[in-house]
Amino acid sequence: MSPFIARPEHGVVWITGASSGMGRALALKLAEEGYKVAVTARSHEKLLELQAEASALAGSIVVLDGDVTSAEDMEHTVAAIEYQHGPVALAVLNAGIYLPARGEDLNHEVFERSFAVNLHGVVNCLVPAVRHMRSRGYGQVALVSSVAGYGGLPGGAAYGASKAALINMAESLKFELERMGIHIQLVTPGYVDTPLTAQNKFEMPDVVSAQQAADTIAAGLKSPAFDISFPKGLVYRAKLLKFLPYSLYFRVLRYFLGSGHKHQSVGPRVTPHPAE
């Protein structure tokens, strides 16, 4: 049986972390294609600006404030979408943060906050979304991870670990969700150029614009593919690295990062806040 692929007539697309960067660009892209898009974040004003920008598009954007770190908030958000706007046909769980975690300055807060948003924040959205989809017998879910989840990078102990967990989660859930008619996909972007990643103090390889990222994701969401990863060159290199023995893996990373790697933080996508 072919996997379910959400179309505008099936219901609402729900995007978390939609007030800036890749999530914002994707919301506009799908609204342009005629979808009704529900957007969630804690930056209310930015969401209202996004809604206004979409007013002339074929579809529409509806605003729902919410904090993905609150399971109660996300239960209410999904219920509000279902009751007021229609069934959640597609959930793109995109909210995330990047906080450097360096060995010389380890602390609980960085790990707790990273996991609260990047991992538990996804679970808080996934549970109610899947419950409603299961009751209907169809749905589509996309978990936004990162190429950083493929392997350890300097400064990425918290971010990379949370994103690696999402990769494992999506792979594991595929077996059960597809039997319920729910098409699950894994989105693994590399470096996406936003005003926030412009603050990075290192050269970002194979960087793509937020619009390019949105176009790639939108195309992938319309396919039966499990993996939506980009840019391909960076993805292939990152995956190949994992086939190396650790002695070579660390040597290759040191070579490409250069002698200053101890002072660099190499997270692929910086978002300071789940609301933004």
Angle, CA 119 vertex, CA 240 and CA 94 arms, to 5°: 80
Q: Say whether 159 is catalytic.
A: yes
Q: Which of 35, 150, 159, 191 is catalytic?
A: 159
Between CA 232 and CA 40 the distance in angstroms is 29
* DSSP label of 38: E
Q: For residue 220, what are the CA distances in angstroms to 69, 83, 200, 214, 236?
A: 27, 28, 28, 10, 17
**For residues 51 and 55, what is the distance between their CA atoms, to the nearest angstrom?**
6
CA 245 → CA 4, 49, 167, 249, distances in Å?
39, 49, 21, 6
Q: What is the DSSP letter of 17?
A: S
Assigned token pair, 29: 């892209």
145 CB burial (10 A radius; 0-12, 13-18, 19+): buried
**How far apart are alpha carbons 117 and 48 in whole angstroms?**
22
Which residues have a catalytic role annotated?
159
